[in-house]
Chains A and B, each alone.
Chain A
Amino acid sequence: MDRRSFLWNWGGGLGGIALASLLGRDALAQARSEFNGGLHHRAKAKRVVQLFMSGAASQCDTFDYKPKLIKLAGEKWDPGEKVELFQSNPGVVMPSPWEWKQYGQCGKWVSDLLPHTATCVDDIAFLLSLTAKSNVHGPATFQQNTGFILPGFPSAGSWISYALGSVNENLPVFVVLPDPRGMPPNGAGNWSAGFLPASHQATTIRVGTPNPIEDLRPPASARFITKSSERDGLVLLSKVNSQYNAERPGDSRLEARIASYEMAARLQLSAPEVLDVSSESDATRRLYGVDEAHTADMGQRCLVARRLLERGVRFVQVWSGADNGFPRRNWDSHENLAKDHGELGASLDKPVAGLLKDLKARGLLNDTIVYWTTEFGRMPCSQGSKGRDHNPFGFASWLAGGGIKGGVTYGATDDWSYKAVENPIYCYDVHATVLHLLGIDHTKLTFRHNGIDRRLTDVHGHVIPELVS
Protein backbone atom coordinates (compact mmCIF):
# COMPACT_ATOMS: atom_id res chain seq x y z
CA MET A 1 0.00 0.00 0.00
CA ASP A 2 1.47 3.38 -0.84
CA ARG A 3 1.61 6.43 1.40
CA ARG A 4 -1.30 8.08 -0.34
CA SER A 5 -3.71 5.15 0.09
CA PHE A 6 -2.53 4.65 3.67
CA LEU A 7 -3.34 8.24 4.61
CA TRP A 8 -6.56 8.23 2.66
CA ASN A 9 -7.97 5.07 4.23
CA TRP A 10 -6.70 5.33 7.80
CA GLY A 11 -9.43 5.44 10.40
CA GLY A 12 -11.94 3.49 8.39
CA GLY A 13 -11.89 5.94 5.53
CA LEU A 14 -13.07 8.87 7.63
CA GLY A 15 -9.87 10.79 6.97
CA GLY A 16 -10.60 10.68 3.28
CA ILE A 17 -14.16 11.79 3.76
CA ALA A 18 -13.14 14.66 6.02
CA LEU A 19 -10.49 15.74 3.59
CA ALA A 20 -12.94 15.67 0.72
CA SER A 21 -15.40 17.84 2.62
CA LEU A 22 -12.69 20.26 3.67
CA LEU A 23 -11.70 20.52 0.07
CA GLY A 24 -15.31 20.92 -0.91
CA ARG A 25 -16.06 24.23 -2.50
CA ASP A 26 -19.23 26.13 -3.22
CA ALA A 27 -20.74 24.86 -6.44
CA LEU A 28 -19.64 27.04 -9.31
CA ALA A 29 -22.25 29.73 -9.85
CA GLN A 30 -23.71 30.23 -13.27
CA ALA A 31 -25.39 33.17 -14.91
CA ARG A 32 -29.17 33.04 -14.59
CA SER A 33 -31.28 33.58 -17.68
CA GLU A 34 -34.17 35.03 -15.66
CA PHE A 35 -31.76 37.76 -14.56
CA ASN A 36 -30.62 38.48 -18.11
CA GLY A 37 -27.42 36.64 -17.32
CA GLY A 38 -26.94 38.16 -13.86
CA LEU A 39 -26.46 36.24 -10.66
CA HIS A 40 -28.48 38.07 -7.95
CA HIS A 41 -30.51 40.56 -9.97
CA ARG A 42 -31.11 41.61 -13.53
CA ALA A 43 -27.86 42.35 -15.38
CA LYS A 44 -27.34 45.32 -17.68
CA ALA A 45 -23.86 44.26 -18.75
CA LYS A 46 -22.54 40.91 -19.84
CA ARG A 47 -18.82 41.55 -20.23
CA VAL A 48 -16.00 43.90 -19.27
CA VAL A 49 -12.91 45.27 -20.97
CA GLN A 50 -10.44 46.88 -18.60
CA LEU A 51 -7.71 49.19 -19.82
CA PHE A 52 -4.99 49.33 -17.18
CA MET A 53 -2.45 52.15 -17.28
CA SER A 54 0.53 50.58 -15.56
CA GLY A 55 2.82 52.97 -13.68
CA ALA A 56 0.34 55.63 -12.56
CA ALA A 57 -1.22 57.84 -15.23
CA SER A 58 -1.44 61.48 -14.19
CA GLN A 59 -4.94 62.79 -13.59
CA CYS A 60 -3.82 66.42 -13.88
CA ASP A 61 -2.52 65.75 -17.39
CA THR A 62 -5.56 63.85 -18.68
CA PHE A 63 -8.98 64.44 -17.17
CA ASP A 64 -8.55 66.69 -14.09
CA TYR A 65 -8.37 70.26 -15.33
CA LYS A 66 -7.10 72.78 -12.74
CA PRO A 67 -6.66 76.40 -13.88
CA LYS A 68 -4.89 77.13 -10.58
CA LEU A 69 -1.89 75.11 -11.75
CA ILE A 70 -1.61 77.32 -14.83
CA LYS A 71 -2.11 80.52 -12.83
CA LEU A 72 0.53 79.71 -10.20
CA ALA A 73 2.96 77.88 -12.48
CA GLY A 74 6.53 77.89 -11.21
CA GLU A 75 5.67 79.07 -7.71
CA LYS A 76 6.60 77.08 -4.61
CA TRP A 77 3.83 74.56 -3.98
CA ASP A 78 2.28 74.80 -0.55
CA PRO A 79 -1.03 72.96 -0.10
CA GLY A 80 -0.98 73.89 3.58
CA GLU A 81 0.24 70.56 4.97
CA LYS A 82 3.15 68.15 4.82
CA VAL A 83 2.98 66.24 1.56
CA GLU A 84 3.88 62.54 1.47
CA LEU A 85 5.72 61.84 -1.76
CA PHE A 86 7.31 58.62 -2.92
CA GLN A 87 10.85 59.63 -3.81
CA SER A 88 11.19 63.42 -3.81
CA ASN A 89 10.46 66.64 -1.94
CA PRO A 90 7.68 68.85 -3.27
CA GLY A 91 8.81 70.89 -6.23
CA VAL A 92 7.08 73.90 -7.74
CA VAL A 93 3.55 74.13 -9.12
CA MET A 94 3.73 72.45 -12.53
CA PRO A 95 0.82 72.82 -14.96
CA SER A 96 0.27 70.19 -17.61
CA PRO A 97 2.46 70.51 -20.71
CA TRP A 98 -0.78 69.89 -22.65
CA GLU A 99 -3.52 72.42 -23.31
CA TRP A 100 -7.10 71.76 -22.25
CA LYS A 101 -10.38 71.87 -24.18
CA GLN A 102 -14.03 71.17 -23.46
CA TYR A 103 -15.83 68.43 -25.37
CA GLY A 104 -19.26 67.03 -26.05
CA GLN A 105 -22.64 68.05 -24.73
CA CYS A 106 -21.42 67.53 -21.18
CA GLY A 107 -18.59 70.01 -21.69
CA LYS A 108 -15.97 67.78 -20.07
CA TRP A 109 -12.44 69.25 -19.98
CA VAL A 110 -9.87 66.87 -21.45
CA SER A 111 -6.20 67.55 -22.14
CA ASP A 112 -4.65 67.51 -25.61
CA LEU A 113 -2.87 64.31 -24.60
CA LEU A 114 -6.08 62.37 -25.35
CA PRO A 115 -8.01 64.23 -28.06
CA HIS A 116 -9.54 61.08 -29.62
CA THR A 117 -10.80 59.76 -26.30
CA ALA A 118 -12.16 63.25 -25.70
CA THR A 119 -14.60 62.86 -28.60
CA CYS A 120 -16.33 60.10 -26.62
CA VAL A 121 -16.99 62.05 -23.41
CA ASP A 122 -20.76 61.86 -23.75
CA ASP A 123 -20.50 58.08 -23.38
CA ILE A 124 -18.08 58.21 -20.47
CA ALA A 125 -18.53 58.60 -16.70
CA PHE A 126 -15.39 60.17 -15.26
CA LEU A 127 -14.39 59.34 -11.69
CA LEU A 128 -12.11 62.07 -10.39
CA SER A 129 -11.92 61.22 -6.69
CA LEU A 130 -10.20 57.82 -6.62
CA THR A 131 -7.83 57.17 -3.74
CA ALA A 132 -5.43 54.30 -3.05
CA LYS A 133 -4.12 52.68 0.11
CA SER A 134 -0.54 52.68 -1.07
CA ASN A 135 1.74 54.92 -3.10
CA VAL A 136 3.93 51.95 -4.00
CA HIS A 137 3.27 50.40 -7.42
CA GLY A 138 3.07 46.74 -6.43
CA PRO A 139 0.57 46.98 -3.57
CA ALA A 140 -1.46 49.66 -5.34
CA THR A 141 -1.65 47.60 -8.54
CA PHE A 142 -2.78 44.63 -6.45
CA GLN A 143 -5.45 46.80 -4.86
CA GLN A 144 -6.82 47.96 -8.21
CA ASN A 145 -6.94 44.39 -9.45
CA THR A 146 -7.92 42.38 -6.37
CA GLY A 147 -9.11 44.85 -3.76
CA PHE A 148 -6.19 44.05 -1.43
CA ILE A 149 -2.69 45.46 -1.23
CA LEU A 150 -1.24 42.04 -0.38
CA PRO A 151 -0.71 39.25 -2.91
CA GLY A 152 -2.80 36.07 -2.93
CA PHE A 153 -6.25 37.46 -3.62
CA PRO A 154 -8.39 36.82 -6.71
CA SER A 155 -8.59 39.52 -9.35
CA ALA A 156 -11.84 41.10 -10.49
CA GLY A 157 -11.79 39.06 -13.69
CA SER A 158 -11.48 35.86 -11.66
CA TRP A 159 -14.38 36.82 -9.39
CA ILE A 160 -16.54 37.54 -12.43
CA SER A 161 -15.52 34.28 -14.05
CA TYR A 162 -16.42 32.47 -10.82
CA ALA A 163 -19.74 34.31 -10.56
CA LEU A 164 -21.04 34.07 -14.09
CA GLY A 165 -19.20 31.27 -15.86
CA SER A 166 -18.55 31.02 -19.55
CA VAL A 167 -20.53 32.05 -22.59
CA ASN A 168 -18.26 30.45 -25.18
CA GLU A 169 -16.67 27.17 -24.19
CA ASN A 170 -14.10 27.49 -26.99
CA LEU A 171 -12.44 30.52 -25.44
CA PRO A 172 -11.23 31.32 -21.93
CA VAL A 173 -13.57 33.38 -19.74
CA PHE A 174 -10.84 35.80 -18.67
CA VAL A 175 -8.10 36.96 -21.01
CA VAL A 176 -5.16 39.31 -20.45
CA LEU A 177 -3.36 41.11 -23.28
CA PRO A 178 -0.11 42.40 -21.78
CA ASP A 179 2.09 45.16 -23.16
CA PRO A 180 4.68 43.58 -25.47
CA ARG A 181 7.47 45.41 -23.62
CA GLY A 182 6.91 43.24 -20.56
CA MET A 183 4.86 42.41 -17.51
CA PRO A 184 3.52 45.05 -15.15
CA PRO A 185 4.55 45.05 -11.47
CA ASN A 186 3.28 41.88 -9.75
CA GLY A 187 3.24 40.09 -13.09
CA ALA A 188 0.67 37.33 -13.33
CA GLY A 189 -0.29 37.96 -9.70
CA ASN A 190 -2.48 40.77 -11.05
CA TRP A 191 -4.78 38.29 -12.79
CA SER A 192 -4.49 35.42 -10.37
CA ALA A 193 -7.43 33.35 -9.21
CA GLY A 194 -6.02 33.53 -5.67
CA PHE A 195 -7.98 31.10 -3.53
CA LEU A 196 -10.77 30.73 -6.08
CA PRO A 197 -10.67 27.57 -8.20
CA ALA A 198 -7.62 27.74 -10.41
CA SER A 199 -9.65 27.63 -13.61
CA HIS A 200 -10.57 31.29 -13.00
CA GLN A 201 -7.12 32.68 -13.56
CA ALA A 202 -6.62 34.63 -16.76
CA THR A 203 -5.20 33.22 -19.96
CA THR A 204 -2.41 35.47 -21.22
CA ILE A 205 -2.33 36.13 -24.96
CA ARG A 206 0.69 37.96 -26.37
CA VAL A 207 -0.91 39.58 -29.37
CA GLY A 208 1.38 40.20 -32.32
CA THR A 209 3.99 37.59 -31.40
CA PRO A 210 4.61 34.37 -33.37
CA ASN A 211 3.57 32.29 -30.33
CA PRO A 212 0.75 34.23 -28.65
CA ILE A 213 -0.41 31.50 -26.26
CA GLU A 214 2.45 29.88 -24.43
CA ASP A 215 2.76 26.10 -24.73
CA LEU A 216 -0.46 25.77 -26.70
CA ARG A 217 1.30 23.37 -29.03
CA PRO A 218 4.07 20.82 -28.46
CA PRO A 219 7.57 22.01 -29.36
CA ALA A 220 8.28 21.28 -33.02
CA SER A 221 11.62 19.72 -32.01
CA ALA A 222 9.94 16.85 -30.10
CA ARG A 223 9.70 14.30 -32.85
CA PHE A 224 8.18 11.58 -30.68
CA ILE A 225 4.99 13.63 -30.49
CA THR A 226 2.56 13.11 -33.39
CA LYS A 227 -1.08 13.95 -34.03
CA SER A 228 -2.20 10.45 -33.09
CA SER A 229 0.06 10.15 -30.06
CA GLU A 230 -1.49 13.49 -28.93
CA ARG A 231 -5.04 12.39 -29.57
CA ASP A 232 -4.71 9.02 -27.88
CA GLY A 233 -2.53 10.44 -25.12
CA LEU A 234 -5.19 12.98 -24.18
CA VAL A 235 -7.86 10.26 -24.14
CA LEU A 236 -5.67 8.11 -21.85
CA LEU A 237 -4.88 11.10 -19.63
CA SER A 238 -8.53 12.01 -19.35
CA LYS A 239 -9.46 8.43 -18.33
CA VAL A 240 -6.70 8.24 -15.74
CA ASN A 241 -7.43 11.69 -14.30
CA SER A 242 -11.19 11.12 -14.16
CA GLN A 243 -10.66 7.93 -12.18
CA TYR A 244 -8.29 9.73 -9.82
CA ASN A 245 -10.66 12.68 -9.39
CA ALA A 246 -13.64 10.39 -8.72
CA GLU A 247 -11.82 9.12 -5.65
CA ARG A 248 -11.25 12.68 -4.44
CA PRO A 249 -14.52 14.54 -4.87
CA GLY A 250 -14.64 18.28 -4.29
CA ASP A 251 -11.05 19.30 -5.02
CA SER A 252 -11.52 21.97 -7.65
CA ARG A 253 -7.86 21.96 -8.57
CA LEU A 254 -8.18 18.47 -10.02
CA GLU A 255 -11.23 19.38 -12.04
CA ALA A 256 -9.58 22.62 -13.16
CA ARG A 257 -6.64 20.63 -14.48
CA ILE A 258 -8.85 18.42 -16.62
CA ALA A 259 -10.75 21.49 -17.81
CA SER A 260 -7.52 23.24 -18.77
CA TYR A 261 -6.49 20.40 -21.10
CA GLU A 262 -9.90 20.46 -22.73
CA MET A 263 -9.76 24.26 -23.06
CA ALA A 264 -6.26 24.05 -24.57
CA ALA A 265 -7.50 21.60 -27.19
CA ARG A 266 -10.34 23.95 -28.11
CA LEU A 267 -8.02 26.96 -28.06
CA GLN A 268 -5.74 25.32 -30.61
CA LEU A 269 -8.64 25.67 -33.02
CA SER A 270 -10.27 28.90 -31.86
CA ALA A 271 -7.23 31.06 -31.09
CA PRO A 272 -5.87 31.46 -34.63
CA GLU A 273 -9.25 32.74 -35.84
CA VAL A 274 -9.81 35.26 -33.07
CA LEU A 275 -6.26 36.61 -33.30
CA ASP A 276 -6.34 37.04 -37.07
CA VAL A 277 -7.29 40.67 -37.69
CA SER A 278 -6.57 40.57 -41.42
CA SER A 279 -10.26 39.97 -42.13
CA GLU A 280 -11.22 43.30 -40.57
CA SER A 281 -12.18 46.08 -42.97
CA ASP A 282 -9.83 48.92 -43.91
CA ALA A 283 -12.16 51.33 -42.15
CA THR A 284 -11.91 49.34 -38.93
CA ARG A 285 -8.15 49.07 -39.16
CA ARG A 286 -7.95 52.87 -39.64
CA LEU A 287 -10.29 53.45 -36.72
CA TYR A 288 -7.96 51.62 -34.34
CA GLY A 289 -4.76 52.90 -35.96
CA VAL A 290 -3.57 49.34 -36.59
CA ASP A 291 -1.39 50.36 -39.53
CA GLU A 292 0.24 53.47 -38.02
CA ALA A 293 3.52 52.77 -36.28
CA HIS A 294 2.84 54.55 -32.99
CA THR A 295 -0.67 53.08 -32.50
CA ALA A 296 -0.08 49.67 -34.12
CA ASP A 297 0.45 47.76 -30.86
CA MET A 298 -2.45 49.15 -28.81
CA GLY A 299 -4.59 49.29 -31.94
CA GLN A 300 -4.10 45.60 -32.60
CA ARG A 301 -4.65 44.67 -28.96
CA CYS A 302 -7.82 46.75 -28.65
CA LEU A 303 -9.10 45.23 -31.87
CA VAL A 304 -8.36 41.71 -30.61
CA ALA A 305 -10.08 42.68 -27.37
CA ARG A 306 -13.24 43.56 -29.30
CA ARG A 307 -13.06 40.24 -31.17
CA LEU A 308 -12.70 38.35 -27.90
CA LEU A 309 -15.61 40.25 -26.34
CA GLU A 310 -17.96 39.66 -29.24
CA ARG A 311 -17.12 35.95 -29.14
CA GLY A 312 -18.19 35.74 -25.52
CA VAL A 313 -15.06 36.34 -23.43
CA ARG A 314 -16.35 37.93 -20.23
CA PHE A 315 -13.35 39.90 -19.02
CA VAL A 316 -10.52 41.21 -21.18
CA GLN A 317 -7.75 43.19 -19.55
CA VAL A 318 -5.50 45.25 -21.80
CA TRP A 319 -2.33 46.73 -20.31
CA SER A 320 -0.75 49.98 -21.38
CA GLY A 321 2.81 49.97 -20.12
CA ALA A 322 5.09 47.31 -18.66
CA ASP A 323 7.29 47.54 -15.56
CA ASN A 324 8.65 50.67 -13.85
CA GLY A 325 12.18 50.31 -15.17
CA PHE A 326 14.24 52.85 -17.05
CA PRO A 327 14.24 53.86 -19.93
CA ARG A 328 10.57 54.32 -19.22
CA ARG A 329 8.18 51.76 -20.64
CA ASN A 330 5.11 52.65 -18.61
CA TRP A 331 3.30 55.67 -17.12
CA ASP A 332 5.71 56.13 -14.20
CA SER A 333 6.99 59.50 -15.44
CA HIS A 334 9.22 60.66 -12.61
CA GLU A 335 11.81 62.23 -14.90
CA ASN A 336 10.18 63.52 -18.06
CA LEU A 337 6.39 63.72 -18.07
CA ALA A 338 6.03 65.37 -21.46
CA LYS A 339 8.10 62.73 -23.21
CA ASP A 340 6.96 59.58 -21.41
CA HIS A 341 3.28 60.37 -20.89
CA GLY A 342 3.32 61.88 -24.36
CA GLU A 343 4.44 58.67 -26.05
CA LEU A 344 2.04 56.48 -24.10
CA GLY A 345 -0.90 58.83 -24.59
CA ALA A 346 -0.29 58.96 -28.32
CA SER A 347 0.02 55.17 -28.47
CA LEU A 348 -3.38 54.48 -26.97
CA ASP A 349 -5.62 57.49 -27.49
CA LYS A 350 -6.86 56.59 -30.97
CA PRO A 351 -7.10 52.83 -30.26
CA VAL A 352 -9.14 53.35 -27.08
CA ALA A 353 -11.47 55.79 -28.81
CA GLY A 354 -11.65 53.32 -31.68
CA LEU A 355 -12.65 50.54 -29.31
CA LEU A 356 -15.44 52.65 -27.80
CA LYS A 357 -16.75 53.68 -31.22
CA ASP A 358 -16.47 50.18 -32.64
CA LEU A 359 -18.30 48.61 -29.69
CA LYS A 360 -21.00 51.26 -30.04
CA ALA A 361 -21.38 50.75 -33.80
CA ARG A 362 -21.73 47.00 -33.32
CA GLY A 363 -24.37 47.39 -30.62
CA LEU A 364 -22.01 45.94 -28.03
CA LEU A 365 -21.43 49.03 -25.88
CA ASN A 366 -24.88 48.71 -24.30
CA ASP A 367 -23.86 45.57 -22.48
CA THR A 368 -20.08 45.89 -22.38
CA ILE A 369 -18.46 47.83 -19.54
CA VAL A 370 -15.28 49.66 -20.55
CA TYR A 371 -13.16 50.46 -17.50
CA TRP A 372 -10.04 52.65 -17.74
CA THR A 373 -7.92 52.80 -14.62
CA THR A 374 -4.47 53.08 -13.09
CA GLU A 375 -2.97 52.29 -9.68
CA PHE A 376 -2.70 55.90 -8.46
CA GLY A 377 -2.12 59.39 -9.87
CA ARG A 378 0.63 61.95 -9.89
CA MET A 379 1.42 65.11 -7.93
CA PRO A 380 0.64 68.57 -9.28
CA CYS A 381 4.12 69.71 -8.23
CA SER A 382 7.29 69.01 -10.16
CA GLN A 383 9.81 66.29 -9.48
CA GLY A 384 13.17 67.42 -10.75
CA SER A 385 12.32 69.92 -13.43
CA LYS A 386 10.05 67.86 -15.70
CA GLY A 387 8.62 64.89 -13.81
CA ARG A 388 5.80 64.08 -11.40
CA ASP A 389 5.96 61.88 -8.30
CA HIS A 390 3.23 59.49 -7.03
CA ASN A 391 -0.13 60.71 -5.79
CA PRO A 392 -2.48 58.16 -4.18
CA PHE A 393 -4.66 60.87 -2.63
CA GLY A 394 -6.60 61.81 -5.73
CA PHE A 395 -6.62 60.28 -9.20
CA ALA A 396 -8.86 59.44 -12.14
CA SER A 397 -10.59 56.45 -13.68
CA TRP A 398 -13.44 56.22 -16.13
CA LEU A 399 -16.26 53.87 -17.03
CA ALA A 400 -18.40 53.59 -20.16
CA GLY A 401 -21.06 51.25 -21.53
CA GLY A 402 -22.89 48.38 -19.91
CA GLY A 403 -25.45 50.57 -18.16
CA ILE A 404 -23.06 53.36 -17.17
CA LYS A 405 -24.46 56.88 -17.52
CA GLY A 406 -22.43 58.80 -20.10
CA GLY A 407 -21.38 62.44 -19.95
CA VAL A 408 -21.13 62.58 -16.16
CA THR A 409 -18.34 63.33 -13.71
CA TYR A 410 -18.35 61.90 -10.20
CA GLY A 411 -16.22 63.28 -7.41
CA ALA A 412 -13.58 65.97 -7.40
CA THR A 413 -10.13 66.81 -6.12
CA ASP A 414 -9.10 70.12 -4.57
CA ASP A 415 -7.94 73.08 -6.66
CA TRP A 416 -4.48 71.50 -6.97
CA SER A 417 -5.56 68.05 -8.24
CA TYR A 418 -3.82 66.83 -5.08
CA LYS A 419 -6.48 65.34 -2.81
CA ALA A 420 -9.93 63.94 -3.46
CA VAL A 421 -12.25 66.19 -1.47
CA GLU A 422 -15.69 65.58 -2.95
CA ASN A 423 -16.97 61.97 -2.74
CA PRO A 424 -13.58 60.32 -2.26
CA ILE A 425 -13.79 56.66 -3.27
CA TYR A 426 -11.60 53.59 -3.46
CA CYS A 427 -11.62 51.05 -6.25
CA TYR A 428 -14.01 49.04 -3.99
CA ASP A 429 -16.78 51.36 -5.04
CA VAL A 430 -15.92 51.01 -8.72
CA HIS A 431 -15.81 47.24 -8.34
CA ALA A 432 -19.14 47.24 -6.50
CA THR A 433 -20.67 49.28 -9.32
CA VAL A 434 -19.22 47.08 -12.06
CA LEU A 435 -20.44 43.93 -10.32
CA HIS A 436 -23.85 45.52 -9.81
CA LEU A 437 -24.20 46.19 -13.54
CA LEU A 438 -23.25 42.57 -14.23
CA GLY A 439 -26.16 41.49 -12.06
CA ILE A 440 -24.00 40.65 -9.04
CA ASP A 441 -24.43 41.89 -5.48
CA HIS A 442 -20.84 42.46 -4.33
CA THR A 443 -21.79 41.62 -0.73
CA LYS A 444 -23.26 38.29 -1.74
CA LEU A 445 -20.48 37.10 -4.07
CA THR A 446 -18.36 35.33 -1.47
CA PHE A 447 -15.95 32.44 -1.15
CA ARG A 448 -15.11 30.82 2.14
CA HIS A 449 -11.35 30.79 2.64
CA ASN A 450 -9.54 30.23 5.95
CA GLY A 451 -12.76 30.80 7.84
CA ILE A 452 -13.64 34.11 6.15
CA ASP A 453 -16.32 34.70 3.53
CA ARG A 454 -14.06 36.64 1.20
CA ARG A 455 -15.25 39.26 -1.31
CA LEU A 456 -13.66 41.27 -4.11
CA THR A 457 -14.71 44.37 -2.14
CA ASP A 458 -13.46 43.01 1.21
CA VAL A 459 -15.73 44.69 3.80
CA HIS A 460 -16.00 47.90 1.79
CA GLY A 461 -17.60 49.25 -1.34
CA HIS A 462 -20.83 50.96 -2.27
CA VAL A 463 -22.52 50.95 -5.65
CA ILE A 464 -22.38 54.52 -6.97
CA PRO A 465 -25.95 55.27 -8.07
CA GLU A 466 -25.00 58.46 -9.95
CA LEU A 467 -23.14 56.31 -12.47
CA VAL A 468 -25.96 53.89 -13.19
CA SER A 469 -28.31 54.85 -16.01
Chain B
Amino acid sequence: MLNNGFVVRMSEHFAERLRQISTDPNQQLDAAARLALGRGLTAKEQSMYSAYARQYGLENLCRVLFNTNEFLFVD
Protein backbone atom coordinates (compact mmCIF):
# COMPACT_ATOMS: atom_id res chain seq x y z
CA MET B 1 0.00 0.00 0.00
CA LEU B 2 2.82 2.34 0.66
CA ASN B 3 4.90 1.84 -2.46
CA ASN B 4 2.49 0.38 -4.96
CA GLY B 5 2.44 2.44 -8.18
CA PHE B 6 -1.35 2.76 -8.18
CA VAL B 7 -1.47 4.22 -4.67
CA VAL B 8 1.35 6.63 -5.49
CA ARG B 9 -0.45 7.84 -8.63
CA MET B 10 -3.73 8.22 -6.75
CA SER B 11 -1.91 10.29 -4.14
CA GLU B 12 -0.90 12.65 -6.93
CA HIS B 13 -4.43 12.81 -8.36
CA PHE B 14 -6.00 13.36 -4.95
CA ALA B 15 -3.56 16.19 -4.23
CA GLU B 16 -4.54 17.83 -7.52
CA ARG B 17 -8.22 17.48 -6.61
CA LEU B 18 -7.60 19.18 -3.25
CA ARG B 19 -5.88 22.07 -5.03
CA GLN B 20 -8.97 22.46 -7.23
CA ILE B 21 -11.15 22.67 -4.12
CA SER B 22 -9.10 25.36 -2.43
CA THR B 23 -5.76 27.13 -2.40
CA ASP B 24 -5.85 27.47 1.38
CA PRO B 25 -3.82 24.73 3.12
CA ASN B 26 -6.25 24.43 6.05
CA GLN B 27 -9.21 24.00 3.74
CA GLN B 28 -7.26 21.53 1.63
CA LEU B 29 -6.54 19.47 4.73
CA ASP B 30 -10.14 19.62 5.90
CA ALA B 31 -11.36 18.49 2.46
CA ALA B 32 -8.81 15.68 2.42
CA ALA B 33 -10.04 14.34 5.78
CA ARG B 34 -13.71 14.62 4.88
CA LEU B 35 -13.23 12.89 1.54
CA ALA B 36 -10.88 10.14 2.72
CA LEU B 37 -12.08 9.57 6.27
CA GLY B 38 -15.62 10.91 6.29
CA ARG B 39 -15.05 13.27 9.17
CA GLY B 40 -13.32 16.42 10.29
CA LEU B 41 -9.98 16.28 12.07
CA THR B 42 -9.37 16.88 15.76
CA ALA B 43 -7.18 19.82 16.67
CA LYS B 44 -4.29 17.48 17.44
CA GLU B 45 -4.64 15.69 14.11
CA GLN B 46 -4.89 19.01 12.25
CA SER B 47 -1.64 20.09 13.83
CA MET B 48 0.20 16.85 12.95
CA TYR B 49 -1.08 16.59 9.41
CA SER B 50 -0.65 20.23 8.48
CA ALA B 51 2.93 20.26 9.76
CA TYR B 52 3.66 17.26 7.55
CA ALA B 53 1.87 18.76 4.53
CA ARG B 54 3.73 22.07 4.99
CA GLN B 55 7.08 20.31 4.94
CA TYR B 56 6.51 17.61 2.32
CA GLY B 57 3.56 18.67 0.20
CA LEU B 58 0.03 17.50 -0.48
CA GLU B 59 1.01 14.37 -2.45
CA ASN B 60 2.87 12.97 0.53
CA LEU B 61 0.00 13.87 2.85
CA CYS B 62 -2.46 12.04 0.62
CA ARG B 63 -0.16 9.00 0.51
CA VAL B 64 -0.15 8.88 4.32
CA LEU B 65 -3.93 9.22 4.47
CA PHE B 66 -4.34 6.34 2.01
CA ASN B 67 -2.22 4.16 4.29
CA THR B 68 -4.07 4.79 7.52
CA ASN B 69 -6.02 1.88 8.96
CA GLU B 70 -8.98 4.22 9.25
CA PHE B 71 -9.01 4.66 5.47
CA LEU B 72 -8.36 1.01 4.68
CA PHE B 73 -10.65 -0.82 7.10
CA VAL B 74 -14.42 -0.75 7.39
CA ASP B 75 -15.55 -0.97 10.99
Footprint of B on A, CB under 8 Å? 2-5, 7-8, 19, 215-219, 222, 224-226, 228-229, 232-233, 236-237, 239-241, 244-245, 248, 251, 253-254, 257-258, 261, 264
Contacts and interface: CB of A to CB of B under 8 A. Distances in A.
A229 B73 contact: no
A201 to B, nearest CB: 15
Contacts of A258: 69
Given A232-B55, A233-B52, A241 B3 contact: no
A3 B69 CA distance: 16
- The 3 A-B pairs with the shortest beta carbon distances in the complex, nearest first, are A2-B39, A215-B3, A229-B56
A253 B74 CA distance: 11
A218 B8 contact: yes
Give the size range of B's interface with the partner.
Answer: 20 to 34
B22 interface: no
Contact of B52 (A7, A216, A232, A261): A232
Contacts of A251: 73
Contacts of B73: 251, 253-254
| Chain B contact surface mostly | helix
B30 interface: no
10 contacts: A218-B3, A222-B12, A224-B59, A229-B57, A233-B64, A236-B49, A239-B48, A240-B45, A254-B73, A258-B69
B34 to A, nearest CB: 9
Nearest to A1: B39
B20 interface: no
Given A233-B56, A236-B52, A237-B67, A257 B2 contact: no
Contacts of A239: 48
B8 A222 contact: yes
Contacts of B72: 257
A253 B1 CA distance: 14
Contacts of A8: 75
Nearest to B62: A224
Interface of B: 2-5, 8, 11-12, 37-39, 45, 48-49, 52, 55-57, 59-60, 63-64, 67-70, 72-73, 75
Contact of A219 (B3, B48, B75): B3
A7 B3 contact: no
B69 A244 contact: yes
Contacts of A7: 75
B64 A254 contact: no
A241 B45 CA distance: 12
Contacts of B55: 229, 232
Given A232-B56, A257-B72, A215 B4 contact: yes
B45 A264 contact: no
Given A224-B11, A261-B67, 16 more contacts: A2-B37, A3-B38, A4-B70, A4-B75, A219-B8, A222-B8, A222-B12, A224-B57, A224-B60, A225-B63, A233-B52, A236-B64, A240-B45, A244-B70, A257-B72, A264-B2
Nearest to B70: A244
Contacts of B60: 224-225, 229, 233
A3, A224, A233: most-surrounded residue (chain B CB, <10 A): A224
A316 B59 CA distance: 38
Contacts of A240: 45, 48, 64, 68, 70
Nearest to A255: B69
Nearest to B38: A2
A241 to B, nearest CB: 5
A245 B69 contact: yes
A293 B69 CA distance: 46
Contacts of A245: 69
B18 to A, nearest CB: 14
Contacts of A229: 55-57, 60
A237 B64 contact: yes
B4 to A, nearest CB: 5
A215 B12 contact: no
Contacts of B45: 240
A3 B74 CA distance: 11
B56 to A, nearest CB: 4
A76 B63 CA distance: 67
A225 B49 CA distance: 16
A115 B15 CA distance: 61
Contacts of A5: 39
Contacts of A244: 68-70
Nearest to A8: B75
Contacts of B11: 224
A262 B4 CA distance: 16
B46 to A, nearest CB: 12
